[in-house]
């Protein structure tokens, strides 16, 4: 699908609110072919002398990771155990102990959201102490949010993203609780990466299917950032711009997997989507995807790819104006129904999965997913209140 210029959406922008607070972390972005070759010098500028390196099993076998190790040379570092697709509190606690013993003074996260989130979680636990779960944001139905204060300074994080989720930019993270299987969520602006190195040509070894699925996650950040109960006008502007870029880049990567320029465009759109979440919160859509991953182990990008049109349709009545702006930004029309049609067309153009059954979610898991979603923080920020598990079960059934 071909996106139109952003002007139609901006012409329909809402009136500026009477007051707001916008947050901007001290993040430096380097986007260039060969960016990874700057890693050692960049670590030195940040004062990182003994980093912990975090990556998933696939990423650890990649040429990018091998180049990074070569660039580090004799710089002392700690290689963390492989990070799984859904990181856990037990892994974070083990790595925090290892980092403390080795006097680690920073982190480098390679790959997708799990590696970035794990680095953030370890940095948080080292700084705040106690148990990781004690610092999680808790949603108490129907409408109470409990956010423990996080005041301690955090060790710096460098991110080398290998997917299009945008997790390398955000100040939030999610980690699976080993005791209950739920996704624990945390937010602290001090956890945003100090440096992001995006190397489009090195990204060519990442399967296009993974890039497109995780790109749907980044696109979901933008859409939810338009109607979240917590957002700023600048976050909305970034979201609309990033949406247009996703609409162009996702089909391009699917059609031309070996095109480094298409990879660069997608990775930049993902970076913008991460900036959206610095000043907006995810809503029901991500709550559902967190629960899907926690219950079934399905990939977060795949879950996002499947659920996004359904979540938008669910919120259509409660978020009509922002969804109309999103549809206009994509040149698709001027209402939520048009946006849903555009998202379905984008699913096809990007070659991503469209049914829960196609990503390994069994029918018998839907009730449990619906029940677990009720405790997710995203419901607090969603524009449409959720009445109960039956409503979510119907939504999941439509996506099955």
Q: What is the pLDDT of residues 371-396, one digit of tens each?
A: 999 999 999 999 999 999 999 999 99
Segment 60-79, tens digit of pLDDT: 999 999 999 999 999 999 99
Residue 310 tokens read as: 């359904």
Look at residue 180 in the predicted model and tell me its pLDDT. 74
Q: Is residue 90 predicted with pLDDT exceeding 60?
A: yes
Beta bridge partners of 186: 173
Average pLDDT of every residue of the chain: 94
Find the mean pLDDT for residues 167-196: 90
The confidence band for 12, taking pLDDT boundaries of 50, 70 and 90, is: low
CA 141 and chain centroid, separation: 24
Residue with tokens 């660039």: 71
Q: What's 50's DSSP letter?
A: S
pLDDT at 330 over 50: yes
Residue 140 pLDDT: 87
Q: What is the mean pLDDT of residues 263-284?
A: 97
Indicate the DSSP class of residue 83.
B
Could you give the CA distance from residue 334 to residue 336 in angstroms, rounded to a whole number?
7
Read off the pTM: 0.93
Phi/psi for 305 (5° steps) reads: -60, -40
Least confident of 86-90, 199-203, 253-257: 86-90
Mean pLDDT of 87-93: 95
Question: Average pLDDT in the 145-173 region?
Answer: 94
Under the phi-then-psi rule, with left for phi > 0, alpha for psi from -120 to 50, and beta for the rest, what region is 65?
alpha
H or E element at residue 208: helix 208-227
* Cβ atoms of 299 and 293 closer than 8 Å: yes
Q: What pLDDT, on the 0 to 100 scale, is given for residue 13?
A: 60
Give the mean pLDDT of 335-360. 98
Is residue 350 within 8 A of residue 211, CB to CB? The reply is no
What domains sit in the chain, N to C, each tagged with a CATH number?
7-16+207-399 (1.20.1090.10), 32-203 (3.40.50.1970)
Cβ-contact 126, 116 below 8 angstroms = no
Tokens, residue 69 = 């190790």
Please check the confidence at residue 6 and state whether its pLDDT lies above 80. no
| The pLDDT of residue 11 | 43
φ, ψ of residue 123 to 5 degrees: the values are: -60, -40
pLDDT higher than threshold 90 for residue 18:
no
List pLDDT tens digits, range 195-208. Answer: 999 999 999 999 99
Do the bridges between strand 195-198 and strand 138-140 make them parallel or antiparallel, or are there none, so unpaired?
unpaired
Three-class secondary structure of residue 5 per DSSP: coil
When pLDDT is cut at 50, 70 and 90, the band that residue 7 belongs to is very low
Res. 3: pLDDT tops 70: no
DSSP string for 280-299: S---HHHHHHHHHHHHH---
Measured from the Cβ of residue 379, the count of other Cβ atoms closer than 10 Å reads 22
């Amino acid at each position: 699908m071909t996106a139109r210029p952003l002007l139609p959406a901006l012409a329909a922008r809402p009136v500026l609110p009477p007051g707001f607070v916008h947050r901007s972390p001290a993040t430096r972005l380097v986007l260039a072919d060969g960016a990874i070759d700057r890693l050692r010098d960049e670590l030195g500028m940040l004062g990182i002398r003994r980093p912990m390196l975090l990556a998933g099993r696939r990423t650890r076998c990649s040429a990018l990771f091998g180049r990074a190790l070569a660039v580090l040379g004799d710089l002392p570092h700690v290689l963390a155990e492989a990070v799984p697709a859904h990181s856990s509190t037990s892994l974070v606690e083990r790595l925090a102990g290892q980092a403390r013993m080795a006097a680690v003074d920073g982190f480098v996260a390679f790959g997708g959201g799990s590696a970035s989130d794990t680095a953030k979680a370890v940095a948080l636990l080292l700084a705040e102490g106690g148990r990781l779960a004690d610092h999680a944001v808790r949603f108490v139905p129907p409408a109470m949010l409990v956010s423990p204060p996080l005041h301690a300074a955090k060790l710096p994080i460098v991110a080398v993203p290998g997917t299009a989720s945008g997790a390398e930019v955000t100040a939030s993270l999610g980690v699976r609780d080993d005791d209950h299987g739920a996704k624990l969520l945390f937010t602290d602006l001090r956890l945003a990466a100090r440096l992001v190195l995006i190397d489009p040509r090195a990204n060519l070894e990442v399967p296009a299917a993974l890039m497109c699925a995780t790109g749907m996650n980044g696109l979901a950040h933008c859409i939810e950032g338009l109607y979240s109960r917590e957002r700023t006008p600048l976050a909305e502007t970034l979201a609309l711009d990033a949406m247009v870029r996703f609409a162009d880049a996702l089909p391009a990567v699917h059609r031309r997997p070996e095109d480094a320029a298409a990879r660069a465009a997608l990775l930049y759109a993902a970076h913008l989507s991460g900036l959206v979440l610095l000043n907006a919160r995810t809503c029901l859509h991500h709550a559902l995807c967190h629960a899907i991953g926690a219950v079934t182990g399905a990939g977060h990008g795949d879950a996002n790819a499947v659920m996004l049109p359904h979540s938008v349709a669910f919120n259509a009545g409660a978020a009509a104006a922002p969804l109309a702006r999103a549809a206009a930004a994509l040149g698709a029309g001027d209402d939520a129904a048009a946006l849903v049609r555009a998202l379905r067309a984008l699913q096809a153009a990007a070659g991503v999965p469209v049914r829960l059954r196609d990503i390994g979610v069994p029918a018998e898991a839907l009730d449990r997913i619906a029940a677990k979603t009720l405790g997710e923080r995203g419901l607090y920020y969603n524009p449409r209140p959720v009445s109960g598990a039956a409503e979510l079960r119907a939504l999941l059934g439509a996506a099955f």
